[in-house]
Amino acid sequence: MHRSGTAMAWNVFKFCTALRGLGSIMILLVLGVVGVTYYAVVLTNYGPALSQGGVDSFVALTILVLFHVLLAMLLWSYFSVVFTDPGAVPANWRPASDEERGESDPLTSLEFVGALNYKYFLLFLFYTFLETTLVTLVLMPHFIAFFSDEEIPGTPGTLATTFLAFVLNLAFALSVMGFLIMHISLVAGNTTTIEAYEKKTSARWRYDLGRKKNFEQVFGMDKRYWFIPGYTEEDLRRMPELHGLEYPSKPDFDSQ
């Protein structure tokens, strides 16, 4: 019985390890959605409108500039997440409740737990929500036109691409909105998804420094860099965990 349980655990672990290969597929999926959206917004609908002149050209230019700015920030944040090592849980880590019961020796130091790219991930969610919402709004008139009696310009291929882009971006906007709200609440309490379970077992979360300082723990203290997937040299100096160093507890900026 014990042997079969061990074999099952090993098989599950092997299966989870194999799932890492899906990372490349997910990258291709994201790029595919971006490609379909770009074709529908820029090449099919609003790019050609630039040559019409008047108000239509101004509206099209405004939409295209905003679309490209958000797209650039989205991709910058996304690839910052993909190519930044998030860190790892220390091998001898135990929840605080276990340490208090004496089930493990107290740790003298902790490596930073899986949050080295957390800011980049949050920015990716933020810009994805803005971009997909923008695309949903600008393609909505074209989507509604599908169900009207008026004649719609374009080939069946361009019309199908516009329809698909609208549906995909609407779905992404709704799903990312909920995900973003959840992570905003985690940041407000200075809690990562990994620490959410430990927080439930603690009467008072010892890492909660107040919403302002909790926000600065993730996004840094320089407001100019809050919406950029990067940190200033000063923030890097104040946040030693970003260098992969060890620290006794979550850093408090006031104590630096």
- Per the domain annotation, does 5 fall within a domain? no
Which band of pLDDT confidence, cut at 50, 70 and 90, is reported for residue 132? very high
- Residue pair 45/59 in contact (Cβ under 8 Å)? The answer is no
Q: Is 212 a domain residue?
A: yes
223 CA to centre of own chain = 19
Predicted pLDDT at 13:
45
How large is the average pLDDT for residues 14-43?
A: 76
pLDDT of residue 28: 81
Average pLDDT, the chain: 76
Residue 194 and residue 110 in contact, taking contact as beta carbons nearer than 8 Å:
no
CA trace torsion 209, 214, 220, 224 (10° rounding): -120
Q: Tell me the percentage of the chain whose pLDDT exceeds 90.
A: 32
pLDDT band at 85 (very low <50, low <70, confident <90, very high): confident
**Number of structural domains the chain divides into:** 1
Residue 184 has pLDDT above 60, yes or no: yes
Q: Which domain holds residue 249?
A: 24-255
Instruction: Indicate the helix (H) or strand (E) that contains 106.
Output: none
CA dist list (Å): 19 to 22, 23, 74, 108, 243: 5, 8, 25, 34, 28
Q: Residue 184 falls within a domain, yes or no?
A: yes
Task: Please check whether residue 8 lies inside any domain of the structure.
Answer: no
Can you tell me whether residue 111 is helix, strand or coil? strand
Asked whether residue 10 is domain-assigned, the answer is no
Question: Judging by beta carbons within 10 Å of its beta carbon (0-12, 13-18, 19+), is residue 102 exposed, middle or buried?
Answer: exposed
pTM higher than the cut 0.75: no
Residue 166 pLDDT exceeds 50:
yes
At 78, list the tokens.
């996304």
User: What pLDDT, on a 0 to 100 scale, did the predictor assign at position 6?
Assistant: 45
Q: For residue 113, give both structure tokens.
A: 């737990």
Q: How far is it, in rounded angstroms, from Cα 44 to Cα 154?
A: 8
Q: Place 68 in a pLDDT band, splitting at 50, 70 and 90.
A: very high
Q: Does 18 fall in a domain? A: no
9 located within any domain: no
Evaluate whether residue 2 is within a structural domain: no
pLDDT at 219 over 60: yes
Greater confidence (149 vs 170) lies with 170
